[in-house]
Structure 1
Amino acid sequence: MACNAVTEHRARLGEAPFWDVATQALYWVDIAGKQALRLIGANVQIWEMPEHVSAFIPCDSGDALVTLSSGVYRLDLDSPGLEPRLSLFCVVDPQPGNRTNEARCDAQGRLWLSTMQNNIGLKGEDLPLTRRSGGLFRIDHDGRVTPLLRGLGIPNTLLWSDDQTTVHFGDSLDGTLYQHFIRTDGNLDPARVWFGPHSRGGPDGSAMDAQGHVWNARWDGSCLLRLTPQGQVDRVIELPVSRPTSCVFGGRDLQTLYITSAASPRNHPLDGALLAMEVDVEGKVCQRFAG
């Protein structure tokens, strides 16, 4: 499958692609570069954030959520890129030294947001991880925050089964993707291993196709793994980047796979690029925040 860079932009740590069906727009972030980006047609708009930003998700109300280190903020999408208008929506994890990471909305439009020990310096440099201080939280439409998991290392991947009874959730520090059963009270059962460590890099973000297969980006693995619903490798999709970070299905038929990536010591020409490839299966729709 041919894979090409969509824009000239190169991120330090591209992440969290989100395809908005209603506007045919792609949202993503550069965490280390403190940028929230939106692609409509061939036009890229960039909002410069005051802090590291891990996700950029449009809302039913017409604005968008950005998950910054200090909390979740609403961003006025009509505000200029160099002077974004931000208003605090909620504080999720007040633990000093933590930052936000993976974030997605479930079928009810509630935001699930993970946190981790901050591993990015003021100039975008890597900082060592010394503790498992992260958590997973659910944020309702009114900003109410419910803690779900604690003691996480590098949380990545958030995907739900069609019946919304199971969530796929990963921890890159473990090299493992897990499944949690969602109880009727909204809390999570203990994790069970769904896909363990693999020789082709560590697990990062993922997308799910209409057949229930998970497409998992492999950090330092230069590929995606397409995994069956049973957690077996169906195929390996080679990529022209060293560190793919996540992916999402987009385009009018949801058969364009957009892939974010990060800079790498290998200095591959496309490292940090937003990539796109046409695939042979339709993907699932991203959910906006219902607030």
Structure 2
Amino acid sequence: MTDIQTPLPDLRCQLGEGPFWDQPTQTLYWVDIIGKAAFAWKPAQNDFQKWTFDSLISAIVPRRNGGFLVALHNELAFFDPQTGEVTPFVAPDADHAQNRSNEARVDPAGRFWLGTMQNNIGPKGEGLAITEHSGTLNRIDADGTVTRFGENIGISNTMLWSHDGTRMFFGDTLANRMDVYDFDMTTGTIGNPKLFCSVEGRGGMDGSAMDCDGFIWNARYGGSCIIRFNPAGAVDRIIDLPVTNPTSCVFGGPNMTTLYITSAADDTDGTRPLEGALLAIETEIAGAPCHRFAG
């Protein structure tokens, strides 16, 4: 459990994020937001691909109809990996010009959820101050219909759904809290938010993964660790990592028991050699699957 692997030893991301495991093709996808790049890696064949974009990119997810949906700086677009063509789809946060895409996940029904935040990345990749909580939470249906469920969000992070489809988890890093919402899988609506967890002193809450027992594995940006929370929101265990800024995680591998962890070299002093690397831990606990976008 404590044996931490570096499966791609030469890869370092400025701001690695958004890991997605596609079980049918045994492929891991993730992005480097600052590096404006997306990656695909098939561990069994050690087949690695990289695509670069003209915009910040915070997520890449496969579509049921082929190709990908990508969350770019201020819009969602379709991406054809064969031609490299990027086709604009919808701009869920067009009324907040100061924002950028951040957290994104697909719910079990195939709807895309996008959380945004005030843009904190300059044109040369430099850091910009966050001065307002202007982020939003949006659901994007297969036909491009956008429904907004949240405003005044600092840094959107973590989107997960319970196995029975009745709860959704969503967090705000600047508020230092992850909330649990009542969720209606049929309509894709949320309500009645309640505090699920809040931890002081182990970095900021970032992206998460859920295992088959309903425990949430949360990356702690600046905290050099993953915290596993039990279904009641209490700390179950803390796993120390050899990076300062783990950003998110996802379960993958043939048995869905490998936890892949993205990290960021940005905002570090550079003294730890694995900053920005992709990490992998064999947990012996199966995780919940990711879902392709239905559009």
TM-score, normalisation: structure 1: 0.96
Counterpart contact for 1:241–1:270, Cα < 8 Å: yes
In structure 2, the partner of 1:202 is 204
Candidates 55, 58, 73, aligned match of 1:54: 58
Structure 1: unaligned runs, 5 residues or longer? none
Once the 2 structures are TM-superposed, how far is the Cα of residue 185 of structure 1 from its aligned partner?
Answer: 5.3
Once the 2 structures are TM-superposed, how far is the Cα of residue 166 of structure 1 from its aligned partner?
Answer: 1.2
Structure 2: unaligned runs, 5 residues or longer? none
The size of the alignment, in residue pairs, is 287
1:170-220 alpha-carbon deviations (Å, 9 max, x no partner): 100011111111257543324211101322111000000000000000011
Candidates 265, 270, 276, aligned match of 2:280: 276
In structure 2, the partner of 1:18 is 20
One-letter code of the match for 1:275? L
Candidates 262, 265, 268, aligned match of 2:268: 265
In structure 2, the partner of 1:85 is 85
3-state DSSP of counterpart to 1:253: coil
Provide the rounded CA distance (Å) in 2 between the counterparts of 1:142 and 1:195: 34
Provide the rounded CA distance (Å) in 2 between the counterparts of 1:121 and 1:44: 28
Provide the rounded CA distance (Å) in 1 between the counterparts of 2:135 and 2:50: 28
Candidates 56, 62, 68, aligned match of 1:64: 68
In structure 1, the partner of 2:143 is 142
1:120-144 alpha-carbon deviations (Å, 9 max, x no partner): 1111111000111110000111111
Provide the rounded CA distance (Å) in 2 between the counterparts of 1:152 and 1:103: 14
Provide the rounded CA distance (Å) in 1 between the counterparts of 2:183 and 2:173: 21
Percent identity, please: 47
Provide the rounded CA distance (Å) in 1 between the counterparts of 2:251 and 2:24: 14
Counterpart contact for 1:242–1:266, Cα < 8 Å: no
Provide the rounded CA distance (Å) in 1 between the counterparts of 2:91 and 2:136: 13
Counterpart contact for 2:258–2:284, Cα < 8 Å: no
1:70-100 alpha-carbon deviations (Å, 9 max, x no partner): 2100110213xxxx21001111101111100
TM-score, normalisation: structure 2: 0.95
Greater mean alpha carbon deviation, residues 192-201 or residues 279-288: 192-201
Once the 2 structures are TM-superposed, how far is the Cα of residue 266 of structure 1 from its aligned partner?
Answer: 2.9
One-letter code of the match for 2:89? F
Counterpart contact for 1:17–1:246, Cα < 8 Å: yes
Greater mean alpha carbon deviation, residues 267-276 or residues 37-46: 37-46
Provide the rounded CA distance (Å) in 1 between the counterparts of 2:206 and 2:103: 9
Deviant stretches of 4+, over 6 Å: none
One-letter code of the match for 1:22? P
One-letter code of the match for 1:145? V
Provide the rounded CA distance (Å) in 1 between the counterparts of 2:262 and 2:77: 23
Once the 2 structures are TM-superposed, how far is the Cα of residue 65 of structure 1 from its aligned partner?
Answer: 0.7
